Amino acid sequence: MGNPIKAERDAVLFLVDCSSSMFRKIESAEMDAEATPGSYLSPFTRAIQCALSFYQEKVVTSDKDLVSLLLYNTRKKLNLYEFQGVYVFHEFDCPGAARVQELQVLSRAGSGDVNVHKEFSEHIGHGAPRAVLLSEAFWAAQHMFHNLRSRAIGFRRVFLFTDCDDPCAGIPMERERCFARMKDLHDAGVALEVFAHGADVVSSAVGGGGGSSTVGAGSLGHSSSAPTSHPGAPASTSHPLHHSTAGGATFVASPTGSGPHPHDVPSIGSSHGGAPAGPLLATTTAAVAALGTKPLTLGGDFFVRGKFWDPLVAAPVASKLGGSSGGGLSGSFDVSPDDVEYCGAVHVSACLTSFDTMVSDVKIRTNPQRSAGSAELRVGFGAAVPRVIVNIYTPILKCPKPKFTWLDGTTNTGVTSETRLLSKATGAPVAPAELRFSTSVAGEELLFSKDETIEMKKICSSNGGVRGFTILGFKKSEHAIRFKYNVARSGFLHCTTQKGGGQGALKFFVQLHRTLSTQNKVAIAEFVSRDNVAPRLVALLPSKLLHDHPMMDSVTGLGFHLIQIPYADDVRSFHPRKQPAEAQPTDDQITKAKRVIRKLQVEYDVNAIANPALQRQYKILQQLALIDPAPVQVDDLTLPDVEGMAKIAPTLQEFTTAVLPPSYSADMICPQPKAAKPPPSATEMAAIDFDDLESKGTLTSLTMPYLQQYLKLLKEDVQGAKLKHELVARVAEVVRKRRTVKREREEE
Amino acid sequence: MSAQPTPSREAVMIILDVSGTMPPDRFTLAKSVCSNLVQQKLIFAPRDELGLLFAGSSKTLNRMNVSAPDRYQHFVVARPIGPSTLDLYQHIEGAKQEDAKSSSMDMMEALIVAADAIYERTGERRYQRRVFLVSDVQQTVKRKEELTTVLSFYKKQNIQLVVIGVDFENPEDIVPGNEDWDRLSSKQQNERVLQFVCSDLSAGDGGSSLFFFFYKKQNIQLVVIGVDFENPEDIVPGNEDWDRLSSKQQNERVLQFVCSDLSAGDGGSSLVIPVSDALEALSALRKRSVAQRAVARCVLSIGAIQIAVHLHTKTLLARIPSLKKTAEKGGLAVEKKYFSAANPDKELDSSVRVKAYRYGKSVIPFTDVDEAQLKFQSERSMMALGFVPISQIPMHHLMGGIKAVAPAPGDIHGAKALSALVQGMDQMQRAMLVRFVRCTNANPVLGVCMPSPKAERDILYFATLPFAEDVRHYQFTTYSDVAVKPEEAKAVDALVNAMTMDKDTLRPSETFNPALQYYYQCVKDRYLRNAASAAVKVDGTPVITAATPLPALDAALLRNSAKFQNPMSTLSAMYRGAQTSLNICQELYPFIDPEEAAGAAGAAGKTYWFATGGVGPAGGAGGVKAESSALPTPYDALLTPAGSSPAHGSGTPLSAQDAAKLSAGSASGVIHVSTTDPIGTFMALTSGTTTMYGSDLIDRALFEMTEVILKLVRSSIGRCYYKKCNECVDALRVVCVKEEEAQCFNRFLINLMCAVKGTDHDLYWSQECVSRGVRPITRLEVRDSDVVDAAAAEAFVFASRAPEAPIVEANDEDDLFGMLE
């Protein structure tokens, strides 16, 4: 049941507007400290830097995903399709060091670097305002994706950067052409995400719950998650946790801007009531109305998404769902959610104040919304039970360390490898069917066949080892999910009708979620993650639908968190020693501890802290790849905020004085481990007569490192000897063997 | 308080009474207890060491007897203590009872010989020590005075004694006396038994002094497995006349005393168990024993506050051990060869290979120096970053695996500081975010510590949190528009209520991993089969091969956690009760099988234009599909009026009537180029006979015509629309020349070429357009064309418009589920 799990490739096309307005200086924009004098930020530079950071993410996280960069609104054209104003900067390919460097240079074209800009003007140039047709750029994108025909590519996305909210300038024909291309792209499974420069007018009109919301998406996030400051709390903003809600790596998105479900977007939803003029007009009107009613406090940099972009991404969906007479979405339960999800949304980031937001907006989309596969979920046993097909997602995944490969050192070219399994007895290759799997019990080798190893796992499962979920029953949440019983990363289940099941199944899924949420219960299910693997018990926890900070959570929307429940085998019996009465703290001491806790209060943000070890590796790789002599500098965000801690030192001291005696030294009780002793040197080894020790039977007088080093120097296999007597026996064996060999030679 | 952790290894001596006093069936039972014990050790604690002592044998072979030849007779150390292997099992299986008359079995001597055997193996080294005595203790103890010596030695050596009593008196059969033995303190018990012992013991000889010294030094535990022992609760100390008791009864009492005395000390678990209970306990489901030991000892620092803590594993996913690949005979060698990609015949040995890391497409060669640079430098530590409300840490963010953070043993001040912190955190409902480095130069991890206050022990539970890189933000719809009828909602409520389990059902501590337990069962089964046939083994190869069938699922597993639908399962009663609710829900919420759905709707899943072009249901059905696609789609309906409305105010969506009108080709009513009569409608639009639109009329007609042609080509079943398309292309060209729209036509040709390339309609371009002589409009026809002349037109048509696409190999099956764990 369900589809096999596939890790599908991702293909992303960056489409960047090159009109001259994209190169204007952004007033009031922050510049980073390293900026050279005279340089400034432009929407174009930001766009390219977003692309650059995306390239860099992809470079280190995947060597399979494809990226391309297409500039439009250019004076020169460079494309095989002879479209005016379309410049293919990068064809689809895996990004590498060269491309990263090219982007680094390109980004300078918009930041006041005269030489680079001159070169840019010469070879690429700005198109005259609205002289170039966006539909042509879409055609180019369509052809580029088309050329990339491969079943291996599971995700196709266009990230478009522009500051123009109406690229068609009211020309209906061009608008229609764009819509036609958008539909083609959508039919081909290409999602469009628009990153616009400018204040988001629609969200400040419709979704603006943030009071003084003037910068759309950004401000919503900020105002609703203002840092909880406490008197005396560390005021340092250098630490991510301490300013986690005020920019930095925080992902902020407005409820209207971030959802990939256009039907959730109020501005569109409201237009589907079946207005005779059609959705476009209604939306545009709404946007215009918004402009009229909401005074804009920012200069000219605003962006009316309703003019063109919102309807553009909504149209293909509407065409699929709307029925023959263009009926709206309202009340249409027959919406297949995947159709909706697939179509991108207009993401309007308020770049004027927070460039970081835009970068992280893009960064967060490094990975497409990739399902780990679908499976059947059933309740209870038997034929006549409710069933659903669910998609499984893994929002939390350990980001792997970069892996090394081998190169031919003489030519620095690739290496292929061939692994063969040979029988030790005959030297002949062993066919897969002849393979056995062994374990050793008390020195006896026990053999199992491949089928038996599979059978061992399958036999215990309720549904014969077939992938899927069998709900065994329901339990109160607090009885099933406990912090101290956490054993594994969680997954997420979401139901769609795309993989089958139909409306009835979807309805059951939704109702099950509602019932369990109301009753505060979880489903306990047996989960077989792939065919022929051992079952596990999992708790299916209904997701919360209301989020205070949606982006603080890894996943939002209706579904179930898949949380594994431990078996007895996974839980160690840990019995801490009972503490004597004198180890009990007094109320005063507890109060002092609480004071410490209060002063060190921070907000948890899942996006705030990057893995320093991984970042370091990435940086070093990048440095070597780009031949950048600058020393590698990585901010270790996991380190405590020293300045902040210093500010509350008296409170900490107060606790220490109240609880711990002056003589107390934690370092004495738990000292850092001693540095490992180096193995015995060659001279030390030479001083030992192993032959003599063996004949006297006193090899045991040597320590383990000497015995190990002896075998290592002679390149003799340890043969699994771990304990000292095993090692002594092994060394004695080697000594005797060498003695025999020596004697034989002498005799000869 | 001792800071010594529990030793990880155990040395066990099993004393099996073979003196012949047991009835044959009891002896078989006693043997099976012993072999079960060995099996348990083999599977769950393979590092433990076992030995076997036959007591009451006709022969004598033991170290004690060598030093004192007149004593310690009839004891054979059949197997000295050592790693558990098959021969131990064979010794037990091969044990035979002696003639009861000719042999004798002195239990006190047995305990001494066993303790000596343990000492011989373990000396002063760190071991747990245990003696299992499987006996019916019928025979008289000669030197009863040695009890104290035995006791002190066992205590000193920390040896646990488990007596598995064969035919010991049944506790329930005897009417309890005035005093309840169980309620007495161990001191009182000791006193009473000592009274007993002292009254009866004759004067000892001096030989015990040597052993007294031994016992003091060693710490041995004793396990008496009592066969037919008396219930200790029923023995009324003081009121009993020791002399009147049989020697068996006397022995039993002494053993009870010894065990309770040994257990009274520090954490011993000496006990007397009836033989049948022992067998049952040994065959129950159990988990692998892992010694409680700190995985890390470090300093927890909260700014300047520093507390010494020990971390212990609380949960860790137990997996089926990975089995080694091998061959049926002689084992397996893995041969890995490297070849140059440029020259596949050239084998590369390790000296010419260099390590390299990928940086996207680029590959960077790495030296050892660079490699060393990659390593992260850090010191073992746990540093607090801050305190967050517990509610902000969702359970689904944890990375798996919990560690308990406890104070260092014996560190009262540290314990107090940690307690204050834990209680403070608990009262304020705060969790502590920490940076944890497990050992020197390990990569730091981000973690969270949750308070767990409890009387007399306050600890923290530590879990790892994801880094920013480990999180993928997924957003899904909330399905707020899904309406469910009240009766449907009620049915689900009823189902949930009917299938709600109580707190204790499927409790983690009592639910065993069925696959892991079955694996143990299989290993044990295969091992025993090997052992059973080892006798007939001739040439050293195992007789039992992989062809032996696997055992059936154990009943205990079926009850516990395997195949929940089986009638033995603890849940089966609940399912019977929930059957009606299940059936109602199934009817109310019908399920459409994905395979059936796929069969009805053609290929399932996502479809791309290049994959589907022209591929439709064969035969008549295809015709229908083609026909329907020829009708205006809802998209057209949405698109057209919307596009035209702002300029002209005509907002009526294209209705079915309009479509019919279009098909009829009524010139005056024409508003769009239709797929049914493209030429007619197109010509009508471009000939100026309609006045519906203004200046962009030609533009619109050209655009719609190009869209129609592309649509027709894509939806053509085989070549069925090719002819129509050709006519359209020709018509388009004619109009474009006439209207001087060379650019429009030429670009259309490119789009057509690119759009069909590589699809089923690739031939339309090469065979229909190119070979039919369709060429771009040149400057000879229209002045402003980009195409200069006929030669350029040829080049235009034959130019390759597809850049070289990167090679995208087939999918690698990344194990996304594996990553869940």
The three-state DSSP-derived secondary structure of A352-394 is: CCCHHHHHHHHHHCCCCCCEEEEEEEEECCCCCCCEEEEEEEC
* Interface with chain B: mutation pick from A79, A424, A472, highest number of B CBs within 10 Å: A472
> CA–CA distance from B46 to each of B42, B89, B290, B293, B532 (Å)?
5, 14, 11, 18, 20
The rounded distance, in Å, linking the Cα atoms of A641 and B131 is: 56
Q: What is the mean pLDDT of residues B23-35?
A: 82
A459 touches chain B (CB under 8 A): yes
Cβ count near B125 (within 10 Å): 9
A213 and A302 fall within a common domain: yes
pLDDT of residue A661: 93
A521 and A622 fall within a common domain: no
Q: What is the mean pLDDT of residues B389-405?
A: 93
- Report the side by side order of strands in the sheet with A444-449: A444-449, A435-441, B324-327
Q: What is the pLDDT of residues B759-794, one digit of tens each?
A: 888 888 888 888 888 899 998 888 888 888 888 888
Q: How many domains does chain A have?
A: 4
Is residue A437 a part of any domain in this protein?
no
A249 and A389 fall within a common domain: no
The rounded distance, in Å, linking the Cα atoms of B69 and B63 is: 10
pLDDT of residue B358: 83
Q: What is the mean pLDDT of residues B706-735?
A: 88
pLDDT at B420 over 90: yes
Is residue A241 a part of any domain in this protein?
yes
Q: Are strands B157-168 and B219-228 parallel, antiparallel or unpaired?
A: parallel
CATH of the domain at A462: 2.40.290.10
Q: What is the pLDDT of residues B242-253, one digit of tens each?
A: 555 566 666 666
Which tops the pLDDT comparison, A326 or B811?
Answer: B811
3-state SS of chain B: helix, strand, coil percent to 5?
A: 45, 20, 40
Instruction: Test A337 with B479 for CB contact under 8 angstroms.
Output: yes
Per the prediction, chain A carries an average pLDDT of 75
Q: ipTM value of the model?
A: 0.76
The rounded distance, in Å, linking the Cα atoms of B533 and B90 is: 10
Virtual torsion, Cα B49, B54, B60, B63, nearest 10 deg: 30
A698 and A740 fall within a common domain: yes
| B756 phi and psi angles, rounded to 5 deg | -95, -15
Helix axes A587-599, A649-659, angle to 10 degrees: 160
Which structure tokens are listed for A88? 């293919």
CATH of the domain at A68: 3.40.50.410
pLDDT at A743 over 80: yes
Q: What is the pLDDT of residues B165-189, one digit of tens each?
A: 666 654 444 333 444 545 444 434 4
**Of residues A81, A521, A563, nearest to B754 (C-beta):** A81
Q: What is the mean pLDDT of residues B725-752?
A: 89
> What residue in B sits closest to A546 (Cα-Cα)?
B478
Q: What is the mean pLDDT of residues A539-568?
A: 87
Tell me the nearest-neighbour CA distance from B170 into chain A, angstroms: 33
Which tops the pLDDT comparison, A198 or B577?
Answer: B577
Instruction: Test B352 with A490 for CB contact under 8 angstroms.
Output: no
Residues B201, B145: contact at Cβ < 8 Å? yes
Q: What is the mean pLDDT of residues A453-479?
A: 89
Which tops the pLDDT comparison, B817 or B679?
Answer: B679
* Interface with chain A: mutation pick from B317, B474, B711, highest number of A CBs within 10 Å: B474
Sign of CA dihedral A29, A34, A38, A40: negative
pLDDT at B614 over 50: no
A458 catalytic per annotation: no
Q: What is the pLDDT of residues A566-624, one digit of tens each?
A: 999 999 888 887 888 888 999 999 999 999 999 999 988 888 899 999 988 888 888 88
A245 and A320 fall within a common domain: yes
Specify the DSSP class assigned to residue B767: I
Helix spans in B63-124 (H): 63-67, 86-93, 107-122
Is residue A1 a part of any domain in this protein?
no
pLDDT of residue B624: 32
List CB contacts of A323: < 8 A, sequence separation 6 or more. Answer: B634
pLDDT at B581 over 60: yes
Residues A471, A540: contact at Cβ < 8 Å? yes
pLDDT at A522 over 90: yes
Instruction: Test A446 with B42 for CB contact under 8 angstroms.
Output: no
CATH of the domain at A654: 1.10.1600.10
Q: Which residues pair with B300 in a beta bridge?
A: B307, B382
Specify the DSSP class assigned to residue A259: -
The rounded distance, in Å, linking the Cα atoms of B387 and A602 is: 6
Q: What is the pLDDT of residues B671-703, one digit of tens each?
A: 778 888 888 888 887 776 554 545 567 888 888
Q: Which domain holds residue A314?
A: 9-363
The rounded distance, in Å, linking the Cα atoms of B409 and B407 is: 6
Looking up tokens 């297949």, which residue turns up? A336
A257 and A172 fall within a common domain: yes
Domain boundaries, chain B: 10-167+211-283, 172-198, 292-318+334-470, 486-538+554-595, 678-798
User: Looking at domain B10-167+211-283, does it have CATH number 3.40.50.410?
Assistant: yes
Coil/strand/helix, residue A78: strand
Lowest mean pLDDT among B55-64, B413-422, B529-538: B529-538
pLDDT above 70 covers what percent of chain B? 70
Instruction: Test B477 with A261 for CB contact under 8 angstroms.
Output: yes
- Confidence band for B585, pLDDT divided at 50, 70 and 90: very high
pLDDT at B228 over 50: no
Is the pTM here over 0.80, yes or no? no
pLDDT of residue A130: 65
Interface size between A and B, measured as CB pairs under 8 A: 927
pLDDT of residue B222: 44
Coil/strand/helix, residue B10: strand
pLDDT at A85 over 80: yes
Coil/strand/helix, residue B661: helix
Per the prediction, chain B carries an average pLDDT of 74
pLDDT above 90 covers what percent of chain A? 21
A520 touches chain B (CB under 8 A): no
Residues of chain B positioned with their CB less than 8 A from the CB of A591: 424
A715 touches chain B (CB under 8 A): no
Tell me the nearest-neighbour CA distance from A269 into chain B, angstroms: 12
* Interface with chain A: mutation pick from B79, B121, B314, highest number of A CBs within 10 Å: B314
pLDDT at A33 over 90: no
Q: What is the pLDDT of residues A66-75, one digit of tens each?
A: 999 999 999 8
Is residue A421 a part of any domain in this protein?
no
Sign of CA dihedral B168, B172, B177, B181: positive
A285 touches chain B (CB under 8 A): no
> What residue in A sits closest to B647 (Cα-Cα)?
A172
A234 and A277 fall within a common domain: yes
Q: What is the mean pLDDT of residues B500-528?
A: 88
A258 and A350 fall within a common domain: yes
Q: Which fold has domain B678-798?
A: 1.25.40
Q: What is the mean pLDDT of residues A269-298?
A: 31
pLDDT above 70 covers what percent of chain A? 76
pLDDT at A742 over 80: yes
Residues of chain A positioned with their CB less than 8 A from the CB of B326: 435-438, 445, 447
pLDDT of residue B596: 66
3-state SS of chain A: helix, strand, coil percent to 5?
A: 40, 20, 40
> What residue in B sits closest to A91 (Cα-Cα)?
B803
B486-538+554-595 belongs to which CATH class? mainly alpha
> CA–CA distance from B140 to each of A84, B68, B170 (Å)?
111, 20, 21
User: Looking at domain B292-318+334-470, does it have CATH number 2.40.290.10?
Assistant: yes
Select from B119, B113, B110, B162 the least CA-distant residue to B138.
B110
Which structure tokens are listed for A200? 């988001």
Lowest mean pLDDT among A200-204, A450-454, B694-698, B715-719: A200-204
Q: What is the pLDDT of residues A612-661, one digit of tens each?
A: 999 888 888 888 888 877 777 888 889 998 888 999 999 999 999 999 99
Q: What is the pLDDT of residues A212-257, one digit of tens each?
A: 222 222 222 222 233 333 333 333 333 444 332 222 222 222 222 3
Instruction: Test A80 with B446 for CB contact under 8 angstroms.
Output: no
Q: What is the pLDDT of residues B105-147, one digit of tens each?
A: 777 788 888 888 888 888 888 888 888 888 777 776 677 667 7
Lowest mean pLDDT among A296-310, A358-372, A376-390, B533-547: B533-547
Lowest mean pLDDT among A191-195, A332-336, B31-35, B553-557: A332-336
pLDDT at B199 over 60: no
Which tops the pLDDT comparison, B748 or B249?
Answer: B748
> CA–CA distance from A609 to each of A566, A645, B220, B270, B447 (Å)?
29, 18, 52, 52, 11
A652 and A695 fall within a common domain: no
Residues of chain B positioned with their CB less than 8 A from the CB of A311: 642
- Confidence band for B204, pLDDT divided at 50, 70 and 90: very low
Lowest mean pLDDT among A572-576, B39-43, B227-231: B227-231
Which tops the pLDDT comparison, B120 or A200?
Answer: B120
A585 touches chain B (CB under 8 A): yes
pLDDT at B610 over 80: no
pLDDT of residue A347: 45
Helix spans in A148-230 (H): 172-187, 201-202, 217-224
The rounded distance, in Å, linking the Cα atoms of B422 and A27 is: 50
Residues of chain B positioned with their CB less than 8 A from the CB of A572: 290, 292, 312-316
Cβ count near A531 (within 10 Å): 15
pLDDT at A390 over 80: yes
Is residue A640 a part of any domain in this protein?
yes
pLDDT of residue B630: 35
pLDDT of residue A219: 26
pLDDT at A337 over 90: no
